[in-house]
């Protein structure tokens, strides 16, 4: 999926959460979209809800 948007970064910090599983630095970023097309916004929401459902399902099965 490719989304073109303009965003302002509110916060960026190194994350220790995934470092044991991934090589290199992992950074948590908080941002706010200031210019984004409506259908791109819908695509992000659809993807986010899909991932949340997958994570909840996996948590229930474990």
Per-residue pLDDT tens for 5-57? 999 999 988 876 665 666 666 788 899 999 999 999 999 999 999 999 999 99
Q: What is the pLDDT of residue 13?
A: 85
User: Which pLDDT score is estimated for 16?
Assistant: 67
Contact 31, 8 (CB under 8 A): yes
The pLDDT of residue 27: 80
Tell me how far apart the alpha carbons of residues 17 and 20 are, in angstroms, rounded to a whole number: 8
Q: What is the pLDDT of residue 7?
A: 94
Whether pTM exceeds 0.85? no
């Amino acid at each position: 999926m490719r989304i073109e948007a303009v965003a302002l970064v509110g916060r960026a910090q190194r994350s220790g959460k995934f470092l044991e599983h991934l090589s290199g630095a992992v950074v948590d970023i908080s941002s706010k979209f200031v210019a984004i097309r409506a259908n791109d916004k819908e695509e992000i929401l659809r993807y986010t809800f899909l991932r949340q459902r997958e994570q909840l399902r996996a948590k229930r099965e474990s």
